[in-house]
Amino acid sequence: MAVPAPDLAVLRQLGERVRPLSAAAERVLPVPEALAGLLPLGGLGRGTTVATAGSAASSLALALAGPATMAGSWCAIVGVADLGLLAAAELGVDLGRTLVVADPGPAGWAPTVASLLDAVEVVLVRPGHAITPTTRRRLVARARDRGSVLVHVGGRVTVWAEAPDLTVTAGASRWEGIGEGHGRLRARQVEVAVAGRRGADRPRRASLWLPGPDGRIALASPAPSAATGEPATPAALREVG
Amino acid sequence: MAGADVPTRTLVVHAPDWPVLAAGPEPSAALVVVRANRVVAASMAARGAGVEVGLRRREAQRRCPHVEVVDHDPARDARAFEPVAASLDALTPGVEVAVPGTLAFATRGPSRYFGGDEALAGRVAQTVSDALHGRWPVRVGVADGAFAALLAARAAHPRGGPARVVAPGEGAAFLAPHPVDALLEVLEVPELVDVWRRLGLRTLGRVAHLPRGEVVSRFGPAGAAAHRLASGLDLRPLAIRRPAPELAVGCELDPPVERVDRAAFAAKALADELHARLGADGLACTQVLVEAQTERGEVLARRWRHEGALDAGAVADRVRWQLEGWLTSSGARPRAGLVQLRLVPVEVVAARGRQLGFWGGETRIDERVWRAVARLQAQLGADAVTVPEVRGGRGPGERVVQVPVATVDLTQARPAARLDAVAEPWPGRVPPPAPATVPHEPELVAVVDAEGREVRVSGRAEVSAPPAVVHRRGRPPAEVTAWAGPWPVDERWWDRTRHRRRARFQVVDEEGGALLLAVEGGRWWIEAVYD
């Protein structure tokens, strides 16, 4: 019996379609829909490390952590004392499942992060001091072991001895709603690029509303690789007044 | 197993407020044991001062100022309880520990041997009381089924003798007047009990009266289990299987183990292995036998059971507690190090994913969270760990405040952490979206116009010239491409010393970086960064 040659395009399409499903909630924490398409697993892979960088690093980190907390996971913020928690709530983080250790001190930093990696799903950090390779390895191993996600929020990623599994970088931002002496900041479009190891070696990018005019995170334009069609959020919805 | 659905006649020994005895040397002292900031056990003296189980730590301290507060430690409870369990080994081989402070066994054999339930109960009460040197009240209940026996034990009053025996066949009638909350003694079904209470099903009798099929279809497996208990039936004969012997797991300990931490390490690995093996067969364990052998050939064994299913972590905990009990017991046993450790699943049920989630699920995660919190509080200080709460205010930094975790109850939903917690609008507040970085220390900057002159804001909120460049220390000057403001803030104008009068601006530079600036008395600083 002749076996018909597999239609690779169809197979790839099918694979693409089943991918997020096979990455069941057990292994992947949910992220905003607009970001899911950029991440190789369609979410935050449990046990991985992620860094955010660029002009919207803090917003990106909060946005990434948000849906997981809404789904019942806990989030901890260690040593990022100036992170805006009002913004966190607006970007979808459930403050009812958020713990903050504002200043654990240089000596207490690593044990604190380790303890929290044991207990909560997402730990946001921005170490203010250099991390020894041993400490880093231990924390990364702890995250992998416990299935939690270590997120480095902006700042100098070089304090880590080696690159994280994923780096989510915000490129140029464009603000809407503000003019020269009038209006106010209403919405921001930002170019987001995702690069890293483990299936993310080919960088993916997209333009994102962070947040959009309606306060939500949305795709402003699809990824350039599939760049056709119009922007996801119509800009005509701008509010006046 | 017997085919008929008849509850096993069971004897329960219950030592009320066991964690207190385990923690406190002096029975007359005022002492409470707390977990996650809630009182889980209180001594008689503390109860006399109005302290109840479930109170917050601070409330308990308010009611009873001299009360000693001790953190809950299940291992300590188990360690203290092991001599009690061991004292009954002479009476029956089938002692099963449910939690430290409560144990159970089937009375069929021992009752016949000692001449009836009453005689057995009296004997058990005496034995246990002796093991505790009479320091603590002990209650014994005998009834059809472990649940009824536990309630009988709770109902036993010292003045009426330490034992309460419910005659065979009268289990359901005995249970009927008890409130539905009694189900929480053995099942973790707070939502279900709450719903039933609000539906007017306030007693177990009312619940038992409902048609079984209806309860199952409306309330699922949890409802079915609760209904069985309320009806005076055992939970377990439902689907209990005696597992195949090859499911037992064991390991050699070489060199022999005398220290608890090493033993606990082995226990964890064994528990995981057991869990994996059972899981591969779609089973969950409801009763586990912990067996250890010493260098001298002594065999120690103790059964632990749970009305729900024991997951890997729960088994590991129980094994560790048991090992602590053995290795640190004052009864001078064992006389040598442990050379072998075995876990035998005595009873298993078909594992149902949903039911497991129901047993642990989210609450277990939350338990992990507060354990970590307690650890961090011990390391860094009580106020080092905080949780955000939403408040009224205008500035981005004012609208969310940090509250020490010690002052809130993490195990419950906190409405104060929701954005809509503050409903009334604050005129003049900074509009959304909120900035993602709000520095605690204001960073002073210089804001100049196109000619390089400092931008000033008049008392009537007029700008001297449009801001053109923001100079931040250590950074190249940022050219302003868009800006908005000034938004005057006139706060506490009624209070001369705390009166503040300033103006806010939003500025965007050519790279899209946006800042929230404030100016007061000619000084500019960065209030927040939209990064």
pLDDT in tens, A107-134: 899 999 999 998 899 999 998 888 888 8
Distance CA A216, CA B122 (A): 68
Beta carbons of B434 and A215 less than 8 Å apart: no
Kindly tell me if the per-residue pLDDT of A237 is higher than 90. Answer: no
Is A65 touching B (CB cutoff 8 A)?
no
Instruction: Give residue B435's pLDDT.
Output: 94
Residue-wise pLDDT for B216-268, tens only, equals 767 766 787 888 889 888 765 434 445 666 778 888 887 888 877 777 788 88
CATH class of the domain at B9-175: alpha beta
* B contacts of A241 (beta carbons < 8 Å): none
Domains of chain A: 27-237 (3.40.50.300)
Distance CA B73, CA B40 (A): 11
Is B431 touching A (CB cutoff 8 A)?
yes
Instruction: Look over chain A and give the mean of its residue pLDDT values, rounded to a whole number.
Output: 82
Fold for the domain defined by B245-357: Dna Ligase; domain 1 (3.30.1490)
Q: Coil, strand or helix: which one is B403?
A: strand
Q: Which of A97, A185, A208 to mutate to test the interface with B (most CBs of B within 10 A)?
A: A185
The answer for residues whose C-beta is within 8 angstroms of residue B10's C-beta and 6 or more apart is: B104, B105, B106, B107, B142, B143, B144, B145, B146, B148, B149
Give chain A's end-to-end CA distance (angstroms, integer): 71
Mean pLDDT of all residues in A3-11 = 69
Mean pLDDT of all residues in B103-124 = 87
Task: Assign B85 a pLDDT band (cuts: 50, 70, 90).
Answer: confident
Distance CA B104, CA B95 (A): 6
Kindly tell me if the per-residue pLDDT of A231 is higher than 60. Answer: no
Q: Kindly compute the dihedral angle of the four CA atoms of residues B196, B198, B202, B208, in this order, to the nearest 10 degrees.
A: -30
Is B418 touching A (CB cutoff 8 A)?
yes
CB-based contact B121:B11 (threshold 8 Å): yes
Distance CA B181, CA B188 (A): 11
Distance CA B44, CA B20 (A): 9
Cis bond upstream, residue B439 (ω within 30): no
CB-based contact B438:B397 (threshold 8 Å): yes
Query: For B362, which of A56, A72, A108 is closest by C-beta distance?
Result: A72
Q: B145: left (phi > 0), else alpha (psi -120 to 50), else beta?
A: left
Instruction: Give residue B82's pLDDT.
Output: 85
Instruction: Give residue B177's pLDDT.
Output: 92
Query: Rounded to 5 degrees, what angle do the CA atoms B125, B54, B129 make?
Result: 10
Instruction: Give residue A78's pLDDT.
Output: 95
CB count in 10 Å sphere of residue B203: 18
The answer for residues whose C-beta is within 8 angstroms of residue B394's C-beta and 6 or more apart is: B426, B428, B429, B430, B489, B491
Instruction: Look over chain B and give the mean of its residue pLDDT values, rounded to a whole number.
Output: 81
Distance CA B443, CA B473 (A): 9
Instruction: Give residue B236's pLDDT.
Output: 58
Distance CA B490, CA A44 (A): 44
Domain extent listing, chain B: 9-175, 245-357, 380-421, 443-530
Beta carbons of A83 and B368 less than 8 Å apart: no
**For residues A161 and B37, which has the higher predicted lDDT (pLDDT)?**
B37
Q: Coil, strand or helix: which one is A7?
A: coil
Distance CA B291, CA B299 (A): 7
Residues 88-147 of A with CB under 8 A from B: 88-91, 94-96, 98-105, 108, 111-112, 115-116, 118-120
The answer for residues whose C-beta is within 8 angstroms of residue A20's C-beta and 6 or more apart is: A36, A42, A43
Mean pLDDT of all residues in B101-122 = 87
Is B530 touching A (CB cutoff 8 A)?
yes
Q: What is the ipTM of this complex?
A: 0.82
The runs of H, that is alpha helices, within B328-409 are 353-359, 361-380
Mean pLDDT of all residues in B412-438 = 78
The tokens for B13 are 């020994």
Kindly tell me if the per-residue pLDDT of A240 is higher than 60. Answer: no
CB count in 10 Å sphere of residue B184: 14
N residues, chain A: 241
Distance CA B227, CA B211 (A): 9
Is A37 touching B (CB cutoff 8 A)?
no
Q: Which amino acid is at B21?
A: L
CB-based contact B200:B310 (threshold 8 Å): no
* B contacts of A66 (beta carbons < 8 Å): none
The half-sphere exposure of B105 on its side-chain side, counting CA atoms within 13 A, is: 22
Return the CA Rg of chain A.
19
Buried b (16+ CB within 10 A) or exposed e, B389-422: bbeebbbbbbbbeebebbebebeeebebbeeeee
Least confident of A25-29, B260-264, B377-381, B495-499: B495-499
Instruction: Give residue A158's pLDDT.
Output: 65
Least confident of A41-55, B305-319, B340-354: B340-354
* B contacts of A119 (beta carbons < 8 Å): 368-369, 371-373
* B contacts of A85 (beta carbons < 8 Å): 388, 400
Ramachandran angles phi, psi of B145, nearest 5°: 95, 145
Q: Which amino acid is at B312?
A: A
Distance CA B286, CA B359 (A): 12
3-state secondary structure B167-216: CCCCHHHHHCCCEHHHHHHCCCCHHHHHHHHHCCCCEHHHHHHCCHHHHH
